[in-house]
Homo-oligomer: A and B are copies of this chain.
């Protein structure tokens, strides 16, 4: 019932346009009554994003079930991957919705409020993990925003390829960027994720970096990353 309402709605949105389609049109095509529609969806907008509530609940549970050994930035990146999975499970639907959302300002606004709820869930988790750190809430908010922006950048690349590129690779690449900027190197949090240094170097090897004082910090970091062979790009 729920699926057939979504299917009928999207068929009409594509044929007639979103604004020109009423709930009555949708229930007529799906062959059900208005009350059935509103049992599943509070409004016409909700039928466009039928899985976000479930995904938000899943993300919240995933973060709640985190332990103190989970590296926080890695954990929120993994939480963001739950959203990607929802999109990637149904590429045709996701691509169709992407096109629709770009055309209808009301849907774009609705989507922003959903994205904001994901971002708040990530930020709340990080705030908890960063309790007692100087600037803990600031760091939490900035990292949550960066993770969401990176995830959405990767997701949109995939959607713009009409679902033909590798969604997981796109998002992994984007999230790795955030992890490099903010995450403690995963090497300190579990050997399973530690890339082998090219010379077989061990954790207690000493690395020396020499830099001009005037060099921009990002250049210095880039040099260090290269030396540590930790940049997978």
Contact = CB atoms under 8 A, between A and B. Distances in A.
A22 interface: no
Contact of A185 (B108, B205, B216, B230): B216
Contacts of A204: 212-214
18 contacts: A135-B177, A138-B153, A138-B177, A142-B146, A142-B149, A142-B177, A180-B217, A181-B181, A181-B182, A185-B216, A187-B214, A204-B212, A204-B213, A205-B212, A206-B210, A208-B209, A217-B225, A220-B224
A86 interface: no
Contact of A218 (B113, B173, B184): B184
Contacts of A213: 187, 197, 201-207, 228
How large, as a class, is the contact surface on chain A?
35 or more
A26 interface: no
Contacts of A217: 180, 183-185, 221, 224-225, 228, 230
Interface of A: 108-109, 112-113, 116, 134-135, 137-139, 141-142, 144-146, 148-150, 152-154, 173-174, 177-178, 180-185, 187-188, 197, 201-221, 224-225, 228, 230, 233
Contact of A146 (B145, B197, B209, B219): B145
Contacts of A207: 210-213
B144 A149 contact: yes
A230 B214 CA distance: 11
A175 to B, nearest CB: 10
Nearest to A219: B184
A218 to B, nearest CB: 5
A141 to B, nearest CB: 5
A190 to B, nearest CB: 12
Chain B CB within 10 Å, residue with most, of A152, A187, A218: A218
A203 B154 CA distance: 38
A146 B182 CA distance: 11
Nearest to A110: B109
